[in-house]
Amino acid sequence: MKKMHIVLLILVVASIAAIVSVFGSFSTYETFTSAGREPGKKYYVIGNLQKDKDMVYDPVKDPNHFIFYAKDKAGNVNKVIFNGEKPRDIEKSEQIVMMGYEDGGTFHCSRIQMKCPSKYKKDMVAQGSSS
């Protein structure tokens, strides 16, 4: 092989390694149960807001603390703590995608993406402070 071929081959391998390392952290959607198997590790959980359970949000006391309950795709209901303000119209969302970690039966969420019922509305994203 010529030196040029070897250099090009090394560049291609390095490029592939860089792409894999950047995009390798993408995770699949999990349930609360599977997220609880590795406490502290961040996961994405898809669920529905449990409107029959209490939501706790007092912007005077702490505007960056919102507690609610969600049911995942497997039917598990879990307490969720979001470190951010209560997302507007969360009650109207069809489903929510929560990014966070499980700790002692509570899902600590740092990001919420709400799937809106209308196909003409864009999905809304709420970003909280990291905990």
Assign residue 58 the CATH number of its domain.
Answer: 2.40.50.140
Structure confidence at residue 32 (pLDDT): 92
pLDDT tens per residue across span 48-97: 999 999 999 999 999 999 999 999 999 999 999 999 999 988 888 889 99
Is residue 58 included in any domain, yes or no?
Answer: yes
Is residue 17 included in any domain, yes or no?
Answer: no
Tally of structural domains, the chain: 1
Is residue 19 included in any domain, yes or no?
Answer: no
Distance CA 118, CA 79 (A): 27
- H helices of 38-84, where? none
CB 100 within 8 A of CB 43: yes
In the block, tokens 């995942």 appear at 72
CB 50 within 8 A of CB 70: yes
Of 99 and 123, which is predicted with more confidence? 99
pLDDT band at 121 (very low <50, low <70, confident <90, very high): low
DSSP 90: G
Is residue 117 included in any domain, yes or no?
Answer: yes
With CA atoms as reference, report the closest residue to 112 among 77, 83, 74, 92.
Answer: 83
pLDDT tens per residue across span 91-104: 888 899 999 999 88
Structure confidence at residue 93 (pLDDT): 87
Distance CA 20, CA 31 (A): 25
Owning domain of residue 110: 27-127
